[in-house]
Amino acid sequence: MFETLSDRLGGVFDRLTKQGALSEDDVRTALREVRVALLEADVSLPVARDFIKAVERKATGQSVTRSVTPGQQVVKIVHDELIAVLTGEGDPGALRIDNAPAPILMVGLQGSGKTTTTAKLAKRLKERDRKKVLMASLDVNRPAAMEQLQILGQQIGVDTLPIVKGEDPVAIARRAKTQASLGGYDVYLLDTAGRLHIDADLIAQAAQVRDAVNPRETLLVVDGLTGQDAVNVATEFDDKIGVSGVVLTRMDGDGRGGAALSMRAITGKPIRFVGLGEKMDALETFEPDRVAGRILGMGDIVALVEKAQQTLEAEQAERMMKRFQKGQFNMNDLKMQLEQMMKMGGLQGMMQMMPGAGKMAKQMDEAGLDDKILRQQVALINSMTKMERANPQLLQASRKKRIAAGAGMDVADLNKLLKMQRQMSDMMKKMGKMGKGGMLKQAMK
């Protein structure tokens, strides 16, 4: 799926990733090509423009992780932004089907794959969610469509409402509701009539059915191959009837992922499922990261950048350990430790993670020993110069006064901080000697 977009972007990024370093101009040129690729993939102009703008904003000023090229970094940023745009709220696969029998209304144009999707969804609800499902076709103008649903029902072992000739759609919907209640069904799916185009009749009928059963979900089925048309259809259906989610079909074809991107950006409606073929199990929950990966077709680069970031962090940690072992523990290190502690929820948060320390956390709280102290300590370090942070032992009385004042605290507070840094430095030195000294090496001799 999405070969077109993926190939296009692939070409762009091939050129990018072969360069060692990128200038700002290069980034802009590259993003211009990404924009063209998006447009050719049927992403609408405003969506593509906004998307590129967001990526540019995020890319500018972002430091490039060592051991990947700036081009690779851009891929990662584009990838993350795609996910951000594609992601809706909540789990797309979780349908609201509590309060049995829960009605689900299926709407869409003729030929979009609505009947097929109704049956696929019924099969999924039956097999994955262990629900008792009933299906009913409301397409009174096309007897063939009603029979089609019946045949699919037999295939997947899901009941369909018996066809009664001459009944209108609202009457069928009501009958489905009664039958679902009496028959102990958990869910009933209503496959509404489709037309080739949206017209007043179609909308009026769907609205009447909606009012008759009050659906828990109204799922719009659209052909993912129709790009911008699919988005227009969705906008209109949502305006006139209100939809709770979208199913994009034919995403197995020579698809242009643009529809998914525009759909999210323009309608704001969550994409819930994608259809990936004609078979009854060719329906998948919409997964933004997977789709973004497929749009780019460069999952390996994304993984590479993630790996490089991890490696970098590991390298930093190792360098720090080496310095600590030599007793080099300055104010920058202390600041990092303090900030790490704040990230972990402060002193209390850390205490709570230690078994049996909950009571101590409470006592600390009562004694006023909270995050405020951590923040004050960081503020003190922040008001030192770079030189002073690296060599805090050089601090003179006059500078101490000014630093304390700069952080809004007393010299006594600063002295406490300096003492803490010295103690930690000593401790690190001892631990370093032990490591080298060789408790381990001794034992191995």
- Residue ranges of the annotated binding site for GTP are 108-115, 191-195, 249-252
Q: Does residue 275 interact with ligand GDP by CB under 6 A?
A: yes
The binder of ligand GDP chosen from 17, 87, 249, 421 (CB under 6 A): 249
In degrees and rounded to multiples of 5, residue 241 shows phi and psi of -120, -25
277 in contact with ligand GDP (CB under 6 A): yes
Residue least distant from ligand GDP (Cβ)? 275
Please report how close the Cβ of residue 113 comes to ligand GDP at its closest, in angstroms.
3
Minimum separation from the CB atom of position 158 to ligand GDP (A): 15
Say which residue the tokens 């009749």 belong to: 201
Stretch that binds ligand GDP, among 53-61, 195-203, 244-252, 355-363 (CB under 6 A): 244-252
Nearer residue to ligand GDP within complex by CB, 247 or 298: 247
Closest separation in Å from C-beta 250 to ligand GDP? 4
Query: How many CA atoms are closer than 13 Å to the CA of 392, on its beta-carbon side?
Result: 27
Other beta carbons less than 10 A from residue 363's beta carbon: 11
Q: Which helix (H) or strand (E) holds 61?
A: none
Q: How far apart are CA 135 and CA 162, in angstroms?
A: 10
Cα separation, 348 vs 345, whole angstroms = 7
Contact call for residue 110 and ligand GDP (CB under 6 A): yes
DSSP 183: T
DSSP 102-141: EEEEEEE-TTSSHHHHHHHHHHHHHHTS---EEEEE--TT
Sequence-separated (6 or more) residues with CB below 8 Å from residue 137 = 115, 145, 146, 148, 149, 150, 160, 161, 163, 172, 191
Residue 194 near ligand GDP by CB under 6 A: yes
- Axis-axis angle for helices 70-86, 24-40 (nearest 10): 40
Size of the site for ligand GDP (CB under 6 A): 18
- Binding of ligand GDP at residue 156 (CB under 6 A)? no
Which one of the spans 86-94, 104-112, 310-318, 351-359 is the region binding ligand GDP (CB under 6 A)?
Answer: 104-112
Interaction between residue 250 and ligand GDP (CB under 6 A): yes
The reply on whether position 437 binds ligand GDP by CB under 6 A is no
Nearer to ligand GDP, 238 or 284 (CB): 284
Piece of the chain touching ligand GDP by CB under 6 A; list 61-69, 88-96, 234-242, 277-285: 277-285
CA quadruple 247, 251, 253, 254: dihedral, nearest 10: 130
Binding-residue pattern over the window 111 to 140 for ligand GDP, x denoting contact by CB under 6 A: xxxxxx------------------------
Query: Residue 186 or residue 191: which is nearer to ligand GDP going by CB?
Result: 191
For residue 245, list its beta bridge partners.
219
The DSSP secondary structure of 260-324, one letter per residue, reads HHHIIIII-PPEEEEE-SSSTT-EEE--HHHHHHHHHT-HHHHHHHHHHHHHHHHHHHHHHHHHH
The reply on whether position 69 binds ligand GDP by CB under 6 A is no
**For strand 283-285 and strand 271-275, is the pairing parallel, antiparallel, or unpaired?**
antiparallel
Min CB(308)–ligand GDP separation in Å? 37
For ligand GDP, the closer CB: 137 or 421: 137
DSSP 62: P
* Sign (positive or negative) of CA dihedral 196, 199, 202, 203: positive
255 binds ligand GDP (CB under 6 A): no
Q: 154 or 385: whose CB is closer to ligand GDP?
A: 154
Scanning residues 282 to 301, which ones bind ligand GDP (CB under 6 A)?
A: 282
**Stretch in the footprint of ligand GDP (CB under 6 A) among 15-23, 107-115, 331-339, 346-354:** 107-115
Nearer to ligand GDP, 24 or 278 (CB): 278
Q: Does 408 bind ligand GDP (CB under 6 A)?
A: no
> Does the protein bind ligand GDP through residue 256 (CB under 6 A)?
no
Rule CB under 6 A: is residue 101 a binding residue for ligand GDP?
no
Minimum CB distance to ligand GDP, residue 276 (Å): 6
| Residue burial 41-71, b: 16+ Cβ < 10 Å; e: rest | bbbbeebbeebbeebbeebeeeebbeebbbb
3-state secondary structure 256-273: CCHHHHHHHHHHCCCEEE
CA-to-CA dists, residue 442 to 325, 427, 435, 437, angstroms: 18, 21, 11, 8
Among 3, 127, 129, 252, binds ligand GDP (CB under 6 A): 252
Question: Could you tell me the smallest distance in angstroms from the CB atom of residue 259 to ligand GDP?
Answer: 13
Q: Which is nearer to ligand GDP, 231 or 381 (CB)?
A: 231
Which residues from 196-225 bind ligand GDP, rule CB under 6 A?
Answer: none
Contact residues for ligand GDP, defined by CB under 6 A: 108, 110-116, 194, 249-250, 252-253, 275-278, 282
